């Protein structure tokens, strides 16, 4: 059994609607002493010309994952 979170985790990734709650990332980093990153599901995807990535991009992670999964099948 791990006595400290660092023994089992290297980093924490936030996604979904809560990922963009102001101050959450900083609080988590301080409390658990790990790097906390808001996951950007669009980071490695090309978008069509004129399509902008939404400001709350982490909220689209599940939908994007399902869409990509459908393309691969």
% of the chain exceeding 70 in pLDDT: 93
pLDDT on residue 45: 82
2 Cβ contact partners less than 8 Å away, ≥ 6 residues apart: 8
pLDDT on residue 62: 85
Please state the pTM of the whole predicted model. 0.68
pLDDT in tens, 16-49: 888 989 999 999 999 988 999 998 888 888 888 9
- Which H or E element spans position 26? helix 24-32
Length of the chain: 73
Q: Please state, in angstroms and as integers, the Cα–Cα distance from residue 66 to each residue in 6, 24, 30, 31, following that order.
A: 31, 26, 32, 32
pLDDT on residue 21: 93
């Amino acid at each position: 059994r791990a006595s400290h979170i660092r023994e089992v985790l290297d980093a924490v990734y936030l996604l979904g609607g809560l990922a963009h709650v102001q101050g959450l990332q900083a609080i988590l980093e301080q409390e658990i002493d790990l790097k906390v990153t808001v996951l950007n599901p669009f980071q490695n995807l090309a978008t069509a010309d004129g399509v902008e990535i939404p400001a709350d991009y982490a909220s689209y992670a599940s939908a994007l994952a399902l869409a990509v999964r459908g393309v691969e099948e």
